[in-house]
């Protein structure tokens, strides 16, 4: 999720609240969130393919 804190946009984990970085623009934060989601799903898929 993305939240505004002061003048920065912060990418946070919805489950743990862990920060994935703070950015000057909302666009930069959205780009980082897409990166996090991409790698989250590719790692899970790779693990499933190896065990099958």
CB neighbour list of residue 32: distance below 8 Å, 6 or more residues apart = 11, 20, 21, 23
Taking a C-beta distance cutoff of 8 angstroms, is the pair 5, 22 a contact? yes
* pTM confidence score: 0.76
| pLDDT tens-digit map of 21-33 | 999 999 999 999 9
Q: Which of 20-24, 42-46, 47-51 has the lowest mean pLDDT?
A: 47-51
**All structural domains of the chain with their residue ranges:** 2-51
Whole-number pLDDT of residue 44: 66
Tokens of 13: 């984990």
Task: Look at residue 14 and tell me whether its pLDDT is greater than 70.
Answer: yes
Judged by DSSP in three states, 3 sits in strand
Bridge partners, 12 (sequence order): 19
């Amino acid at each position: 999720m993305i939240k505004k804190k002061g003048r920065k946009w912060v990418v946070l984990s919805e489950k743990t609240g862990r920060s994935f970085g703070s950015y000057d623009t909302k666009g930069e934060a959205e780009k980082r969130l897409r990166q996090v989601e991409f790698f989250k799903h590719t790692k899970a898929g790779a693990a499933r393919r190896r065990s099958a």
